[in-house]
Structure 1
Amino acid sequence: MTEQEQPQPGLAGCYRHPDRETGIRCTRCDRPVCPSCMISASVGYQCPDCVRGSSQETRATRPRTLAGGTVVSDTRLITKILIAVNAVVFVTVLTVGDSMVRDLGLIGYDVDPTAYTWIGVADGEWYRLLTSAFLHQQIWHIGFNMLGLWFLGPPLEAALGRARFLALYLISALAGSTLTYLLAAQNQLTLGASGAVFGLFGATAVLMRRMRYDMRPIAVLLAINLVFTFTWANIAWQAHIGGLVVGAVIAYAMVHAPREKRLPVQYGVSATVLLLLVVACVVRTLHLLGG
């Protein structure tokens, strides 16, 4: 830099471009900034480093839900997506027929009457544990389940956050299917989102207890549904109980985890539950195969 290019006494050089004289300083760090670097703020100007740091601080302090999820404006998005998926599958079942139910419904171990081959979870078709939770054949069946999802889903989605709510729903569905696989007859065909919805019942009870709300409404509603579970014919009570218990366990871990250890506790409990479900399915499979 030549003598003519040296900043004149009394005017500082920009902290990023020392050869550029400026009388402007960052309102946060007081460093001199030239017109190319200064960024307009609510009061005065700021340097690029301070603006970048402010954005990072804003992201770090973004409001969080009770369980640590991101606060969003639409707290029904995942609920609506799940209802839409169930509805699309239901229409597809009506269009395709019973073959889709036979291919994707929960069956422990049975012989396909059309191909005379073994089918079911024990034959390696583990996907049935989850796909069966999106299958319905009767309008009243999907109607009751989707009504429960619509009323129970949004408050949980708002409290947990979208990702945690989806994890709760899917793990509850798997738990209901797993208990059905363990206790029901090996050739019994089971389908429906009841396990997942009962998981939402359990989670709602935990959330209301955590928020110190009046527990009587959810207790009465749950009691009515349990009466139907054990009195109505052709209802897989195993799916209801499995989903209910696991939904409560997952929700408890999510809303009671200490803030400084929130993610390890939530991930740890969810992973442990999934591992136990896998172990239970392996044991059942070995039993059905005579191992």
Structure 2
Amino acid sequence: MDQAPSSPQDARSSLPTCYRHPDRQTGIRCTRCERPICPECMVDASVGFQCPDCVRGPSGRQGRAATAAARPRTLAGGTVTADPRLITKILIGLCLAAFLVQKAVGADFEERFFLLGQAYIPSLGAVQGVAEGQWYRLLTAMFLHGSYVHILFNMLSLWWIGGPLEAALGRIRYLALYFVSGLAGSALTYLLAAPNQPSLGASGAIFGLFGATAVLMRRLNYDMRPVIALLAINLVITFGVSGIAWQAHIGGLVAGVLVGYAMVHAPRERRALVQYGSCAVVLAVVVVMTLLRTSQLT
């Protein structure tokens, strides 16, 4: 007959180790295969806990669903990741890479990809613009910048605002918010600005992040004064400094508030439908504005 442990220390040393993490002792076993499992490997079952291998089962469908349900989630339902700022870093990298290409190639590159309604560009030898079927300009303009100061302020804003927001929403929802806001800003600029007025910059998408951040802070009952003050300063600059496409800022801000509200207030049982449905609605408005302006110019 085995001897009982003579002390609490002996009892702890006699505990088995997790079958997936040999460095972790545990007193919990899978209710199906009875293998020892640590808290990280435990998946809630109808009775007790099961290990990931047993939960997967023969088809793997049950396991994927249970494992997904057991993963930690953000406020908006996104998956918590090891690097919560990865998408923000990638977006900044894309903007910096595009800026380097701008400096290396020159005006010819900008004139092919900045936002333009309709105008004759001598260096390209033809009428160019969204009205000519170049819808891609609504997207590519979001990654171009006109000067070192322009890209510096936008990238700093993207890092300060985007990083925490990405952590709160999750990567996919954050990326959807960014592009929907940027496209909404581009579409409103195309609709309201002079057709021969070029526009470029990530400001529309960043203003969308501002709007979503304000909604998130309201949802969490945080002090709203800092973000309101920062947004007010940016709006004063938007309307007080010449050469700024205010339409992009306002379009991005409105889209960011709408999509951000859907992201953080969507009911759990219909979360994905409400969140991505709101993105689809805003994108539909973008298409309508683009078609309307195109019909006016052609």
TM-score by length of 2: 0.81
Q: Report which of the two structures shows the higher radius of gyration computed on alpha carbons.
A: 1
2:108 and 2:123 in contact (8 A); partners too: no
- 1:267 corresponds to which of 268, 276, 295: 276
The C-alpha deviation readout for 1:208-235, integer Å capped at 9, x for no partner, is 0000000000000000000000011100
1:41 to 31, 36, 40: 36
Conserved 8 A contact 2:179-2:205: yes
Q: Are 2:282 and 1:287 equivalent residues in the alignment?
A: no
Q: Determine the structure 2 residue equivalent to 1:67.
A: 76
> SS where residue 296 of structure 2 aligns?
helix
Q: How far apart, in 2, do the equivalents of 1:141 and 1:213 lie?
A: 30
Aligned pair partner of 2:246 in 237, 246, 259? 237
Cα displacement (A) at 1:114 = 2.8
**2:122 alignment counterpart:** 113
Extract unaligned runs of 5+ from structure 1.
Answer: 1-25, 30-37
Corresponding residue of 2:56: 52
Shift of 1:203: 0.7
Q: Cα distance, 1:84 vs. partner?
A: 0.5
- 1:7 aligns with none
Q: CA deviation at 1:113?
A: 1.1
TM-score, scaled to structure 1: 0.83
**Partner amino acid for 2:273?**
P
- The 5 A counterparts of 1:1-291 are 28-29=31-32, 40-42=35-37, 50-52=54-56, 55-56=63-64, 57-289=66-298
Query: In structure 2, what is the equivalent of residue 14 of structure 1?
Result: none
Cα distance change of structure 1 residues 196 and 47 upon mapping to structure 2, 3 Å threshold: closer
Contact 1:39/1:48 (<8 A) preserved: no
Question: When the two structures are aligned, how many residues end up with a matched partner?
Answer: 254
Supply the distance in 1 between the matched residues of 2:265 and 2:30 (Cα, whole angstroms).
42
Runs of 4+ in 1 over 6 A off after TM superposition: 46-49
Q: Could you tell me whether the CA contact under 8 Å between 1:202 and 1:248 is conserved in 2? A: yes
Partner letter of residue 222 of structure 1? L
Identity of aligned residues (%): 59
